[in-house]
Amino acid sequence: MASKAAKSRKSGTALRRRERRFVPFLFLLALVPAFGDTPNEPYVRLQAALEQYLQIAENGGWPTLPGGPTIEPGSNESRVAALARRLAVTGDLDARERVFTVYDDELQGAVRRFQARHGLETDALVGRKTLQALNVPVEQRIAQLRLNSERSQRVFDPGLSDFMLVNVPAFESTLVRDGKVLTTTKVIVGETETETPLFQARG
């Protein structure tokens, strides 16, 4: 009985951690290029992305893709057209007047752009993780953008030209010197139970 109680407490603690988990910083990876010409460019880009997503919400958001097997290159299943409409809303695909019925090279390129922006493997396969990211409601994306805009405003001081940024969802660390990206390397970050803490520090 004691063992079961301990497991229950551990499970409850893990659940509470997940419930209060922060949105990974920086979410800008999922929406905009990571760096520009100035140290506070990420904040400026986040604000632009926020305006874009507020407009998307005002226009009704984006369609939800139904579940199903992985959409693979060459597929002509019924969800292909909905996938194209979804990607067109966020600008990953220039759909123009075309109706997509086959998962062709152009649509695969749009999926890869979406995957890269969201820290997903850029394999052009619309599987479980990619489908989940596509179906996140626009309201949730707006909330994430607002939260990270506030964080980036504190972090990206216009007068700060030398710093290192760890982009948790991208598993990347970027070194900036004199306001320019010097190098970017892969890093190991925490998982759900051992999350990477969010902090700002000066040497």
Q: What span, in angstroms and rounded, lies between the C-alpha atoms of 41 and 36?
A: 5
pLDDT tens, residue by residue, 128-182: 999 999 999 999 999 988 888 887 776 666 666 677 777 666 677 778 787 777 8
Contact by Cβ (8 Å): 93, 62: no
Please check the confidence at residue 37 and state whether its pLDDT lies above 80: no
Q: Return the closest-CA partner of residue 79 out of 69, 88, 89.
A: 69
pLDDT at residue 113, rounded to an integer: 94
Confidence of residue 25 (pLDDT cuts 50, 70, 90): very low
Q: Which residue has the higher pLDDT, 149 or 64?
A: 64
Q: Which residue has the higher pLDDT, 28 or 84?
A: 84
Q: What mean pLDDT, rounded, does the chain reach? A: 76
pLDDT at residue 192, rounded to an integer: 52
What's the CATH fold of domain 28-156? Muramoyl-pentapeptide Carboxypeptidase; domain 1 (1.10.101)
CA-based angle 139:140:146, to the nearest 5? 90
Average pLDDT over residues 82-98: 90
Q: Which residue has the higher pLDDT, 20 or 130?
A: 130
Tell me the H-state helices in the chain: 2-19, 41-58, 79-89, 105-117, 128-134, 138-155
Q: Which residue has the higher pLDDT, 158 or 123?
A: 123
pTM of the entire predicted model? 0.65
Please check the confidence at residue 81 and state whether its pLDDT lies above 70: yes
Q: Which residue has the higher pLDDT, 19 or 76?
A: 76
Distances 10 to 5, 15, 17, 25, 194 between C-alpha atoms, Å:
9, 9, 11, 26, 14
Q: What span, in angstroms and rounded, lies between the C-alpha atoms of 149 and 129?
A: 25
Contact by Cβ (8 Å): 118, 133: yes
Contact by Cβ (8 Å): 24, 169: yes
Q: Residue 77's CB: how many other CB atoms inside 10 A?
A: 14
pLDDT at residue 117, rounded to an integer: 86
Place of tokens 């506030």: 150
Nearest-10 crossing angle of helices 41-58, 138-155: 160
- Spans of all domains in the chain: 28-156
Q: What span, in angstroms and rounded, lies between the C-alpha atoms of 102 and 189?
A: 37
